[in-house]
Chains A and B, each alone.
Chain A
Amino acid sequence: MKVNTTRRDFFKVGAGAVAATSAVSANSNEGFSSIASGRSAAAPAGDAGNMIYRRFGRTDVHVSAIGVGGHHLGDVPTLDEAVQLVHEAVDAGITFFDNAWEYYNGKTETILGRALRDGRREKVFLMTKVCTHGRSGKLAMQMLEDSLRRYQTDHLDLWQIHGIVYDNDPELAYAKGGVLEAFDQAKKEGKVRFVGFTGHKDPAFHLRMLELGYPFDSVQMPLNPFDANFYSFEKHVLPEVNRRGMAALGMKSMGGTAWGMKAGVVQAEEMLRYAMSLPVATTICGMDSLDVLHQNLRVVRSFQPMTQGEMEALRVRCAPTAADGRFEPYKVSLRYDNPMTRMPHGFPFDHTQREVTEMLEKTDGPWLMPETTPETSRR
């Protein structure tokens, strides 16, 4: 709970622009990102000179303007390649690393822990997400121990509630004995430095989480030019997050799938540039190969924020195809909800979903973990 609530002037540029227009861009590096020189003490030396670092909300910490998404680490064909991807990312100056307790039943946390041992842990800003999905703070603390063990570290830089995607998720998170009490405890015990929440479904759920008043340090959300036109986090949540001096973390800069690009509406590079031009601390990118990492690094190294005019033109270009939401499937289909988020809510599964089959096959998997016998989480 001991977060610094002093309002810093870092977001003044962003906040002012938010007041003027709901869809704001960071059309200048000034005040937003600091190239190389402004990086945190944790930022790496060496080849990282061209990385961009931005301030993490109202804290004194800076993070790299792109982050490595944890889920896609599980899609890299071999462990060696995944480790190499992380090594190259760190060596290129990326400090922000995303993950979640439930991705691939813990595999991606284990991969990241393996890649960061031997001296790289200290160079990064390490995040993972807790996956109670409405269950207790006690369970959250057990998940935290799992994550720390897999990461081979004694603390996280950021711990976020994963997947606020259902109408009653805010109420469950704030319930007595819920996950927010675990946040307080974990911070007090020095096991996590900062806390936040994530979700891909509906700006209204994010706003309710904020409205209920917990002093989150960060909020993660989908941000892309389709989003700007449809159930928009950019319009409804981003200004509020910045007003409160929290760190905004963008994800799904490509729309969660490549459909918008396959349809020829947008290109990958402009999508990433758009997301990075918003007033966010970082943009988390799914990278399942070294090629994708290299491509993203190229975009970052030559990055100049889009102008307001460029951003508006891209939003306008995307508006006609964005209006039914099909290029943001996580908002308009229940099939993009992780079954591990559905299970604790008692929502029925879609058995045509690969993730459901995989989850149900793992009869000893953590998804079976009942509240009453928490020791079953220790596999």
Chain B
Amino acid sequence: MVDQHRQSEEPQATPEIERRSFIQAGLASAGTVLASSVLHSQIASAALPPQMTNSAAEQIPRRAFGKTGEQVSIMGLGGYHLGIVQSPDLAVRLVQEAVDAGVTFFDNAWEYNNHRSEEWMGLGLQGRRDKVFLMSKVCTHGRDKNVAMQQLEESLKRLGTDHLDLWQIHEVIYENDPDLHFAKGGVVEALDEAKKQGKVRFVGFTGHKSPAIHLKMLAHDYPFDSVQMPLNCFDATYRSFEQQVLPELQRRGIAALGMKSLGGDGQPIQYGVVRAEEALRYAMSLPVATTICGIDSLDVLRQNVGIARGFRPMSSQEMQALRERCRPSSGDGHLELFKTTKKYDGKVGREQHGYPPSEELPL
């Protein structure tokens, strides 16, 4: 099952990436704080983003999807938000306009909005399926591979296609999830089977809670093609996926997929700590294949497409300055509630674990 050699044959999947110690300026300015080197050396993990193609002024650039040889748009359309817009017509229009603007990466999950997200995306992709890199997520939350294979059939049907480009294990957020997923007869076996049947091309996993849980998944050395995680300028200094998981993915040549670039619900923007554009640019400047954006209106789509078109990554100095600016307000996690509370933990996942719904908890 485990394809060990895949992990080792290309330790540096994107050798053109230069590792730079671009935190030096920040270190010097923090000289009044004792032992700052200990604190800041942990931040200095990010390398320059992978090289982009398709990067002319009016185009949305693309980046390598790990070491697969595939390319995906640096901005992806999030499936969850597609299912909460007012009408299927608007959802279809969002999908069509995104594809026509050059967005190729499409995110979804079997469980989003009682399957409406997949259905509406399927409608929008009619006639455009071949232009996109289509992902959905499997939502066993600890159940067996038969449940997974059944969910795959349902996802394919709703999305109106015979295969997914990427199928990921959804919401790996509880301490015992890695054990459940890798258990005999678990969802990881379904990933193998689906690949063998040609129904999915690539596989990965997602989660918004804890870098440690992601690392526990990776420690199984299963040949995941991608890993999805929250990446934003607050994450950089709080329970950080950027510091702890991203370098490991680079080392293994696994495609990193960023999400929650605005902190999950845009709270940092409401609080006036950052502007939406700089937060999105920060996320897109990390060494990721794509940044998945929740888009619930044509305005938001156009705004994001505007940022992605002709995108030039932030300089290392700009990124460091933004991390420093965010650090004082990142420290308690109130701008990343998906890490610090139960608020973002999905209902289906909690049910499957036997946990009460998050809204019933006095937390």
Interface, chain A (partner B; CB < 8 A): 165-171, 174-176, 202, 204, 208, 211-213, 229-231, 319-324, 326, 329, 332-335, 337, 342, 345-348
Contacts and interface: CB of A to CB of B under 8 A. Distances in A.
Interface residues of B, number: 38
Interface of B: 32-36, 38-39, 173-177, 210, 237-239, 271, 327-334, 337, 340-342, 345, 350, 353-356, 361-363
Contacts of A212: 34-35, 38
Contacts of A333: 340-342, 363
Given A171-B39, A176-B32, A332-B363, A324 B332 contact: no
28 contacts: A166-B331, A167-B332, A167-B333, A168-B237, A168-B327, A171-B36, A174-B33, A175-B32, A175-B33, A211-B38, A229-B175, A319-B175, A320-B353, A320-B354, A323-B176, A324-B173, A324-B174, A324-B345, A326-B355, A326-B361, A332-B340, A333-B340, A334-B341, A342-B332, A345-B328, A347-B331, A347-B332, A348-B334
A176 B33 contact: yes
A334 B328 contact: no
A323 B331 contact: no
Majority SS of interface residues in chain B?
loop
Contacts of A345: 328, 331-332
Nearest to A326: B361
Contacts, number: 97
A168 B361 CA distance: 28
Contacts of B345: 324
Contacts of B35: 174, 212-213
A62 to B, nearest CB: 33
B342 A167 contact: no
Given A169-B331, A346-B328, 12 more contacts: A165-B332, A168-B327, A174-B33, A175-B32, A320-B353, A322-B175, A323-B175, A324-B175, A324-B342, A329-B362, A329-B363, A347-B334
B332 A202 contact: no
Contact of A347 (B177, B329, B337, B350): B329
Contacts of A165: 332
B44 to A, nearest CB: 16
A208 B39 CA distance: 8
A348 B35 CA distance: 28
A76 B170 CA distance: 47
Nearest to A213: B35
Contacts of B327: 167-168
B332 A175 contact: no
A134 to B, nearest CB: 9
A324 B355 contact: yes
A54 to B, nearest CB: 30
B363 A348 contact: no
A332 B341 contact: yes
Nearest to A319: B176
